[in-house]
């Protein structure tokens, strides 16, 4: 449990160890880094769960899969998994947004 000390501004006291930690504001660079990490985590979590994934995560995954399919350096065994992943993502997008092909 955390309690805020009303006498000290921007100071947080933790009840369990009685140590105080000064609350600090994040810099713009730190906020941007945290944002990128959240987006990467969302993309990783979206793999195999395309129906529940956000639009941004789906498009990021699709871009990655299409780039891998186009690259000459992609190993042959990986091509089939990338192709299947792209199909699943496209199916999720078409279904979610009721796109008629």
Q: What is the pLDDT of residues 21-55, one digit of tens each?
A: 455 788 999 999 999 999 999 989 888 898 999 99
Q: 56, 42 in Cβ contact below 8 A?
A: yes
Q: What is the pLDDT of residue 101?
A: 83
Which one, of 82, 78, 34, 38, lies nearest residue 57 by Cα? 38
Q: What is the pLDDT of residue 70?
A: 95
pLDDT of residue 18 exceeding 90: no
pLDDT of residue 75 exceeding 90: yes
Query: Residue 42 phi/psi, 5° resolution?
Result: -65, -40
pLDDT band, very low/low/confident/very high, at 65 (cuts 50, 70, 90): very high
């Amino acid at each position: 449990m955390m309690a805020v000390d009303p006498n000290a501004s921007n100071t947080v006291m933790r009840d369990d160890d009685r140590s105080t930690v000064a609350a600090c504001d994040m810099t713009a660079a730190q906020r941007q880094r945290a944002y990128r990490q959240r987006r990467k985590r969302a993309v990783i979590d979206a793999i195999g769960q395309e129906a529940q994934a956000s639009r941004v995560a789906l498009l990021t995954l699709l871009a990655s899969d299409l780039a891998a399919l186009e690259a000459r350096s992609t190993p042959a065994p990986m091509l089939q998994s990338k192709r299947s992943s792209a199909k699943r993502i496209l199916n999720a997008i078409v279904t979610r947004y009721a796109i008629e092909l």
